[in-house]
């Protein structure tokens, strides 16, 4: 970050790792949040007169093989549109690479390269050979110890964190270490099993955890409520009980049910104790949403990961909408992260009312779990040299 600010980039070959792993449909980028978030870093390097090389992964292709559907070409096209200049896509970065000062190229998907996912040294060294300065800016991939995130940082002549990565770490640190209280977390999504570690870490630091989605169903079961045919995890009911003993986790008092999972499914509002054997719970009801919204309005710090209902179908979106609007109205320092959460932020149009929107999915969760992000650890090791 300091390097960029101090203008030491002029004429230098600067390799920037971004997380440009964005959704693509029919050759077009469908959500460019991650590209937008990376733009200031790329622009600063260009304006500083650096020879800029940007790299990222896209999806999970078979390693070592080119696959058209995972090509970065749509990202190059989209980035070119945003920057208002052509962005050349480099298919073979080991061939001669000539970038002029103040110009940029984008490397093809790093996961086409053999050794990327296993963080093999020869590949990491080959990336390092491209640059004078390596800028790790991909917060969303900082939890992966791979050649383009962790390995290259080991071998590059100079390795530092980019502004996006630095901002993410600062914002998350603010919410987690010494937060303004009450600290309330919303953990939604389908399964407790995928968020158990997050729930356990949050139970240590939060004043309250709001659960939603399939996750809430396991907590309802732990509270002795019927959940019918809803998605829930019977083997995690005792873990849910233990969490409820540790921290305030209110369970919904009313729920929106249907008999099938479909866009056209008929939604029925029920008291949480009246769910029938053939019901499936797809959202929290309005009384629960109202009570939770009140809690959110009192919060001073809010961490949001996961919707509380099947909000992609409007009839099951009211709970998520009510909480989104409560976050928007609250004066708390609020952080939202994760793909589904960001889709909800967009759908209910609260992006400019959330204090910080993280570009991380898995990385966001691992950070909240208190895990060390390997790419960040490598930068710290390099800085300590
Ligand atoms: C993400 O989308 O969470 C990151 O880009 C990491 O992708 P991965 O899970 O395929 O490593």
**Residue 339 appears among annotated catalytic residues:** yes
Average pLDDT, the chain: 95
Annotation says 191 is catalytic: yes
Q: Compute the distance between CA of residue 221 and CA of residue 251 in angstroms, rounded to an integer.
A: 10
Best residue among 24, 136, 140 to mutate for probing ligand 1, ranked by most atoms within 8 Å of CB: 140
| Closest by Cα among 356, 377, 355 to 366 | 377
DSSP per position, 109-151: -GGGSTTTTTT-HHHHHHHHTT-SEEEE--GGGTT---IIIII
Confidence of residue 170 (pLDDT cuts 50, 70, 90): very high
Q: For residue 366, report the distance from its CA to the centre of ligand 1, in Å.
A: 12
Prior bond of 85 cis (ω within 30°): no
Q: How far is CA 347 from the centre of its chain?
A: 17
Tokens of 222: 């732990």
Q: Which residues pair with 187 in a beta bridge?
A: 211, 305
Percent of the chain clearing pLDDT 90 (strictly above): 90
pLDDT at 22 over 60: yes
Q: What is the pLDDT of residue 67?
A: 95
Which of the following is catalytic: 114, 174, 191, 300?
191
Which residues, in sequence order, are CB contacts of 210 under 8 Å at separation 6+?
184, 185, 186, 187, 249, 250, 292, 295, 296, 308, 323
What string of DSSP letters covers 29-41? ES--HHHHHHHHH
ipTM above 0.90, yes or no: yes
- Residue 362 is a catalytic residue: yes
* Nearest atom, ligand 1, residue 363 CA: 3
Contacts of 356 by beta carbon, 8 Å cutoff, 6+ apart: 167, 171, 172, 175, 333, 334, 335, 336
Instruction: Please state the rounded mean pLDDT for residues 320-330.
Output: 97
Q: Does residue 94 carry a pLDDT above 70?
A: yes
Q: Strand 333-336 to strand 301-305: parallel, antiparallel, or no bridges (unpaired)?
A: parallel
Chain mean position to CA 182 = 24
What distance in angstroms lies between residue 89's CA and the mean position of ligand 1's atoms?
21
Asked if residues 40 and 163 have their Cβ atoms less than 8 Å apart, the reply is yes
Three-state DSSP class for 15?
strand
**What 3-state class would DSSP assign to 343?**
helix
The span from the CA of 290 to the CA of 323, in Å, is: 8
Which structure tokens are listed for 160?
A: 């530092």
Q: Does the pLDDT at position 199 exceed 70?
A: yes
Cα gap 123→120, rounded to integer Å: 6
Query: Which atom of ligand 1 is least distant from the CA of 34?
Result: 5
Residue 64: which pLDDT band, with cuts at 50, 70 and 90? confident
The pLDDT score that the predictor gives to residue 340 is 87
| Residue 19 CA, closest ligand 1 atom number | 5
Residue 255 and residue 276 in contact, taking contact as beta carbons nearer than 8 Å: no
Assign 181 a pLDDT band (cuts: 50, 70, 90): very high
Query: Is residue 221's pLDDT more than 90?
Result: yes
Question: How high is the pLDDT of residue 8?
Answer: 85
How far, in Å, from the CA of 195 to the mean position of ligand 1? 16
Assign 5 a pLDDT band (cuts: 50, 70, 90). Answer: low
Does 36 qualify as catalytic in the annotation? no
**What confidence score (pLDDT) does residue 1 get?**
52
How confident is the model over 332-360, as a mean pLDDT?
A: 93
Band (351; pLDDT cuts 50, 70, 90): very high
State the architecture of 181-331 in CATH terms: 3-Layer(aba) Sandwich (3.40)
Q: How many CA atoms lie within 13 A of 47 on its CB side?
A: 11
pLDDT at residue 253 in the model:
97
Task: Looking at the structure, give the CATH architecture of the domain made up of residues 2-163+373-383.
Answer: 3-Layer(aba) Sandwich (3.40)
Mutate which of 17, 21, 116 for ligand 1? The one with the most ligand atoms within 8 Å of its CB, which is 21
Each residue's pLDDT tens digit, 265-286 = 999 999 999 999 999 999 999 9
Most ligand 1 atoms within 8 A of CB, residue of 59, 75, 138, 362 to mutate: 362
Distance CA 243, CA 237 (A): 10
Domain with CATH 3.40.50.1260 in the chain: 2-163+373-383, 181-331
Range 287-300 average pLDDT: 97
* pLDDT at residue number 339: 80
Question: What's 250's DSSP letter?
Answer: P
Find all residues with CB under 8 Å of 157, minimum gap 6, and list them.
128, 131, 132, 133
pLDDT at 108: 98
Query: Could you tell me which residues come within 8 angstroms of residue 381 by beta carbon, excluding any fewer than 6 positions away?
Result: none
Protein residue closest via CA to atom 7 of ligand 1: 141
φ, ψ for residue 245, nearest 5 deg: -75, -25
For tokens 């769910």, the residue is 275
Atom of ligand 1 nearest to the CA of 144: 11
| pLDDT classification of 261: cutoffs 50, 70, 90 | very high
Residue 90 has pLDDT above 80, yes or no: yes
Per-residue model confidence (pLDDT) at position 212:
95
* pLDDT over 60 (residue 86): yes
- pLDDT band, residue 385 (cuts 50/70/90): confident
């Amino acid at each position: 970050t300091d390097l960029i600010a101090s203008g030491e980039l002029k004429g230098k070959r600067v390799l920037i790792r971004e997380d440009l792993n964005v959704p693509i449909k029919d050759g077009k980028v469908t959500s460019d949040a991650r590209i937008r978030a990376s733009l200031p870093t790329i622009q600063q390097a260009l304006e500083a007169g650096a020879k800029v090389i940007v790299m990222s992964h896209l999806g999970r292709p078979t390693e070592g093989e080119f696959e058209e559907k995972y090509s970065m070409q749509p990202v190059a096209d989209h980035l070119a549109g945003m920057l208002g200049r052509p962005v050349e896509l480099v298919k073979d970065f080991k061939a001669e690479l000539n970038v002029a000062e103040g110009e940029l190229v984008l490397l093809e998907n790093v996961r086409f390269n053999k050794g990327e996912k296993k963080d093999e040294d020869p590949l990491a060294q080959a990336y390092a050979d491209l640059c004078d300065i390596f800028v790790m800016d991909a917060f969303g991939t900082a939890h992966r110890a791979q050649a383009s995130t962790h390995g290259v940082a080991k071998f590059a002549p100079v390795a530092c964190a980019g502004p996006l990565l630095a901002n993410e770490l600062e914002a998350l640190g603010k919410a987690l270490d010494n937060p303004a209280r009450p600290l309330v977390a919303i953990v939604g999504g389908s399964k407790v099993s995928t968020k158990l570690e997050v729930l356990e870490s949050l139970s240590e630091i939060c004043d309250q955890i709001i659960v939603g989605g399939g996750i809430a169903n396991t907590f309802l079961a732990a509270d002795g409520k019927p959940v019918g045919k809803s998605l829930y995890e019977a083997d995690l009911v005792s873990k849910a009980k233990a969490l409820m003993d540790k921290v305030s986790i209110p369970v919904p008092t009313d729920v929106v049910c249907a008999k099938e999972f479909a866009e056209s499914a008929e939604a029925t509002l029920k008291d949480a104790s009246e769910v029938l054997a053939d019901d499936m719970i797809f959202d929290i009801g309005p009384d629960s949403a109202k009570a939770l919204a009140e809690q959110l309005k009192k919060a001073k710090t809010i961490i949001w990961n996961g919707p509380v209902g099947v909000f992609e179908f409007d009839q099951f979106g009211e709970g998520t909408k009510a909480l989104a609007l409560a976050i928007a109205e609250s004066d708390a320092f609020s952080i939202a992260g994760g793909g589904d959460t960001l889709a909800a932020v967009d759908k209910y149009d609260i992006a400019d009312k959330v204090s910080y929107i993280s570009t991380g999915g898995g990385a966001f969760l691992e950070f909240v779990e208190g895990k060390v992000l390997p790419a960040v650890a490598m930068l710290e090791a390099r800085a300590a040299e």
